[in-house]
Amino acid sequence: MAFGVTPEGFIKKRLIDIKIDLENSLRASLGKTINLLPVSVLGQIVGIIAERESLLWELSEEIFNSQYPDTSGGVALDNVVAITGISRIPSRPTVQKDLHLFGTPGTAVPLGTQIKVANVLNAVFTTNSAVVLAAGVDEIQTISFSGVPVAGSWRLKYLDELTILLPFNATTIQIQDALNNMLNLDGVLVVGSFGAGFSITFAGDSGKINHSLLEFLDNTLAVIISIVQTVQGVPQATVDATCLNTGPIPSFAFSLTDIVTPVSGLTRVINIINGVLGRNIETDTELRIRRNESLQVAGSATVDAIRSDLLNVAGVNEALVFENTTFVIDANGFPGKSFAAFVDGGEDEDIAKAIWGSKPAGIEMFGSITEPVLDSQGFSHNVKFSRPTTKDIWVELDIATGPNFNSSIIEIQDAIVAHGNALGIGTDIIVTPDLICVLDQFKGVTDVVVRVGFASLPTLDNNLVIAPQEISKWANARTLVSLI
């Protein structure tokens, strides 16, 4: 049998093969009657030499395998993929954009001030720059009605949370209390009436923030409701911050609140948006998969090449690229002879540069976001792309448990939300088995009834269709878990 590099690949000589060869060589040189039993001197020498030669064969096999992406690993794999211009994505920390700072106007908050996510030990962030607190402005939003309602009810929505049902004759105190009972609002003041409209001032701990516009849902008042921003909230200061530890350490909106490094005059910090999630270093398996996808770059200017470049952008979670090869507007609304990139995650500037680096010459880009990019000649070009349309998902779980169940509702919510937010662009929501299987990790769950939908109070357990240009967004506030 041939060993070493053969037409079938590398064939490693086994320890037993090496031992037999050594014994045959000794018998040929010293005679067939020599004692080669394992307890003899020659037998012991054969065993020692055979083991060392076996280690050399194993090293030779590793060297042979290190030349190929499917069989190499670690630094060897880094070297192999570098031939095609790919490098392993390093670990990176979570970055919090627009961290809001509050306190005494004129307070200087130095670079490197540390804050942390409440109740999470390793989620400590450090500010990326020094800032000085200004006075700030409280935001005011106004709710108007097309008439005075005489029956029905309505709700207000702030971010991912809903108020209780408000009656048609709700007082300012009722509306005010409903808003202040929400997790992320406190100190809201409400004045006015259904006839004149309600003025909502975000004061107290909710003040001096440019808030998301309130929404109304479940309106049965038989009148039209409109909400506008009358006065835009202005924070006292905003600063970006970076987590001290690398990896996917989340800083969900309104969770980065603990001041680790005391600063005289700095009384409060809060993040009103989710942080840009960090990541662990790319694994060998992930790197191999990305290398295979990146081979499409060789085609340059193809849909696969553009998508491959986008997936290599730091912070990008998913990307889809559509093209219209006809001369007329297609069913998606894309102009003739154009392409449209939908990207989840990443910075606008980095995405635009990636698109410009692989787009075909003379082909129109289509999208809702425009970002200028300079080419190698110094000319500026407007690169267009889009973010996927978000579809809020509402989930209700009725979970039957046994005596060995010891998990919390928050743990179940976290698992469901993590599963949903990892689905990516254009991925349908499959209730059975995908969503239900998430509960397999929790001991003691004996049965579950799932209801999902695009609005509150879902009633069906049907799968949900997510369009190719949409992405589902999940949140604990929209995931109701009932233990029965």
Check which CATH number belongs to the domain holding 332 and give it.
3.30.300
pLDDT of residue 296: 54
Whether residue 125 is found in the same domain as residue 244: yes
What average pLDDT is seen over the chain?
90
3-state secondary structure of 36: coil
Q: Return the structure tokens found at 261.
A: 């490094």
Parallel/antiparallel/unpaired status of strands 389-392 and 470-473: parallel
Q: How many domains does the chain have?
A: 5
How many alpha carbons fall within 13 Å on the CB side of residue 309?
Answer: 21
Residue range 42-53, pLDDT digits in tens: 999 999 999 999
pLDDT of residue 351: 93
Q: How far apart (Å, rounded) are the C-alpha atoms in residues 459 and 477?
A: 17
Parallel/antiparallel/unpaired status of strands 131-132 and 188-193: unpaired
Other CB atoms closer than 10 Å to residue 375's CB: what's the count? 10
Whether residue 431 is found in the same domain as residue 460: yes
pLDDT of residue 299: 52
Does residue 278 belong to any structural domain of this protein? no
pLDDT of residue 58: 92
Does residue 71 belong to any structural domain of this protein? no
Q: If you count them, how many residues does the chain have?
A: 484
Residue range 53-101, pLDDT digits in tens: 999 999 998 899 888 888 888 999 989 888 877 888 888 899 999 999 9
3-state secondary structure of 446: strand
Whether residue 358 is found in the same domain as residue 394: no
Does residue 130 belong to any structural domain of this protein? yes
Q: How far apart (Å, rounded) are the C-alpha atoms in residues 340 and 157?
A: 32
Q: In terms of residue numbers, what domain contains 241?
A: 93-134+235-271
pLDDT of residue 179: 96
Whether residue 129 is found in the same domain as residue 246: yes
Torsion of CA 170, 172, 178, 179, to 10 degrees: 140
Whether residue 412 is found in the same domain as residue 357: no
Does residue 200 belong to any structural domain of this protein? yes
Residue 41 CA: distances (Å) to CA of 21, 24, 27, 29, 119: 17, 16, 14, 16, 66
Q: Return the structure tokens found at 93.
A: 């920390």
Whether residue 39 is found in the same domain as residue 179: no
Domain boundary pick from 226, 250, 271:
271
pLDDT of residue 115: 96
Does residue 375 belong to any structural domain of this protein? yes
Does residue 276 belong to any structural domain of this protein? no
CA angle 353, 358, 363 (to 5 degrees): 100
Cis preceding-peptide flag for 105 (omega within 30 of 0):
no
pLDDT of residue 300: 60
Which residues does the chain have with pLDDT short of 50? none
Does residue 83 belong to any structural domain of this protein? no
pLDDT of residue 172: 96
Whether residue 344 is found in the same domain as residue 468: no
Whether residue 200 is found in the same domain as residue 125: no
Whether residue 157 is found in the same domain as residue 196: yes
Q: What is the pTM of this model?
A: 0.63
The conformation of residue 432, written as its DSSP 8-state character, comes to I
Other CB atoms closer than 10 Å to residue 263's CB: what's the count? 16
Whether residue 395 is found in the same domain as residue 472: yes
Does residue 81 belong to any structural domain of this protein? no
Whether residue 381 is found in the same domain as residue 395: no
Whether residue 25 is found in the same domain as residue 110: no
